[in-house]
Structure 1
Amino acid sequence: MRVTLCVVGRLRAGPERDLIDDYVMRFDRTGRGLGLGPLDVREVDGKGGGMAAEAALLRRALPAGAAVIALDERGSVKSSPAFAADLARWRDDGRQDLAFVIGGADGIDPALRADCDGALSFGKMVWPHMLVRVMLAEQLYRAASILAGSPYHRV
């Protein structure tokens, strides 16, 4: 199952980019044997136009037929093992593509959010959208590690 992060904004070189690149590499390496991956990050330009314009760009970036999960403060809060179980379920249900949507500074357009198959939250606090990318990439790697029985995730 291919996994895509569809995100608003372009991340320049720096610590966040380094972290994302590292977790993408780790996910790809760990997930390959589990039928997960590759992990692709698709950035869309978030300059001007507001949430509706961002939503149009995000929709174009989504793989056709993908299950789409919004990263949104109103979404479900899950444990890492529960998130890993969700990934395994989507994969085992025969999904070819899974996409996560991360909006810009103002969030995700309500119409796009309503069209998503689900929503995930990293808690009640609002996080900078650039850090959410890092957190999601790490959680995807963690989920693959859990499914692989790796000691990375310790309870």
Structure 2
Amino acid sequence: MRWRVAMVGKPKLGFVAEGVEIYARRIRRWAPLELVSARSGRPAAESRELERLTEGYFRILLDERGELLDSRELARRLAGWEQRGPGKLALLIGGAAGHDPGLRHRADWVWSLSPLTLQHELALLIALEQVYRAYTITRGTPYHRE
């Protein structure tokens, strides 16, 4: 399975940029992953750019109105996609104003990390950590604890 993480802008918070690189490197042990960014602007323009950057990918859009899963459920879903799935997954992280409603409706899956509204850089870091955690669960490595 191949990952493309498309975000608006690049992380400006130093600790987030460092964490993103740490988890991206960890995920790459199991799957190719690339980080791409769209220019910051109006939500509609940001969403068009995110959509262009992820053409041909199964789009997972982060939004607090999406489906909430626990880590084990996420691991099961990712394992299913690995076995039967699309092969190319894109994680879409909007900017400060969120996603355009049209993109939200065109996404293949809308995932919520929390019912709380998260700052987009923090959402990126949390999402990558959860993807990494899902891989460790499916591979039985000692990271996730119940």
Common fold: TM-score over 0.5: yes
Q: Assess if the C-alpha contact under 8 Å between 1:63 and 1:99 holds in 2.
A: no
Aligned to 2:101: 110
Aligned to 1:142: 133
Following the alignment from structure 1 to structure 2, what is the Cα–Cα distance between the partners of residues 125 and 12?
21
Following the alignment from structure 2 to structure 1, what is the Cα–Cα distance between the partners of residues 54 and 20?
19
Moved over 2 A (4+): none
Shift in Å, 1:87: 0.7
- Could you tell me the TM-score, scaled by structure 1's length? 0.90
Aligned to 1:6: 6
1:19-51 CA-to-partner distances (Å, cap 9, x unmatched) read: 01001111111x2xxxxx2121111111x3x11
5 Å matches for 1:17-56? 17-29=17-29, 31=30, 37-46=31-40, 48=41, 50-56=42-48
- Answering whether residue 80 of structure 2 is matched by residue 86 of structure 1, we say no
Indicate the SS of the match to 2:61: strand
1:41-96 CA-to-partner distances (Å, cap 9, x unmatched) read: 111111x3x111001111111042x1111100100110001001111111111422
Question: Letter of the aligned partner of 1:42 in structure 2?
Answer: V
Question: Letter of the aligned partner of 1:68 in structure 2?
Answer: R
- Could you tell me the TM-score, scaled by structure 2's length? 0.95
Which one of the candidate residues 61, 70, 76 is aligned to 1:70?
A: 61
Shifted more, 12-21 versus 121-130: the winner is 12-21
> Where do 5+ consecutive residues of structure 2 fail to align?
none
- CA RMSD between the two structures: 1.2
Structure 1 vs Structure 2: percent identity of aligned residues? 37
Aligned residue-pair number: 146
Aligned to 2:86: 95
Question: Letter of the aligned partner of 2:142 in structure 1?
Answer: P
Q: Assess if the C-alpha contact under 8 Å between 1:63 and 1:97 holds in 2.
A: no
Indicate the SS of the match to 1:73: strand
